Amino acid sequence: HPHDRPMVRAAWNGARVTGLPLDYEIRLRHHDGSYRWHRSRAAPRQERGGKIALWYGTIEDINDRKMADEAIRWTADHDDLTGLWNRRAFMEGLRTALAGAENSGVEVALLLIDLDSFKALNDRYGHDVGDALLKEIAQRLQGNGAGDSMAGRLGGDEFALFIYTPDRTQLEETIAALRLALAEPCLLNGQAHSCRASIGVALFPEHRTDADGLYKNADLA
């Protein structure tokens, strides 16, 4: 795979100098054009003077295991229903974003979004309609993040979005566009439903400089 070539080239160049064995995972292209993960291992056979005479090794297809591992990692970090980041992964991402923005002069806006009257809709029309609404809201959040952003579902009907904001005017425009997107009726099972939501915003570093404090302020807002 093109993305793996620099790593492979560097590994082989280093191994030719050090004489150390190689062991890495790469994607190899098959005859049908698809890529599958393989584990490639190689060890040198050296002459008496230390010069490498040849390399011998194995290539093992590990694609099924790799896909299973990635599925487990995906499940650990994402909400099963909407595919958004779950609470734990979202808060970790927020902490990383705040650490990166600390010395850059860029603001980070945390938006908490609660759906209005979601419980009433769930009780009246059933969980299937409620779940469909949550999925629709997740898609709208992903489509209205503007630039570097991250959306998550923190639980129930609570969603979150953080956005890097080099310009306050741009942030206001993004939030206005998000409000309009969320206000559009959702067509669920052939019937239009309101998707109004309440949004609370807190800014780093103006309101708090830590993720938990920023979350509390956005929740209050």
User: Could you give phi then psi for residue 194, rounded to 5 degrees?
Assistant: -70, 140
Contact in structure between 112 and 158 (CB atoms under 8 Å): yes
Provide the 10 A C-beta neighbour count for residue 29. Answer: 11
Q: What is the DSSP string of 97-132?
A: HHHHHTTTT-EEEEEEEEETTHHHHHHHH-HHHHHH
Beta bridge partners, 24, equal: 40
- The catalytically annotated residue of 69, 157, 212, 219 is 157
Residue with tokens 């209050």: 220
Contact in structure between 167 and 146 (CB atoms under 8 Å): no
Provide the 10 A C-beta neighbour count for residue 66. Answer: 16
Q: Specify whether 212 is catalytic.
A: no
Contact in structure between 214 and 204 (CB atoms under 8 Å): yes
- Residues annotated as part of the active site: 157
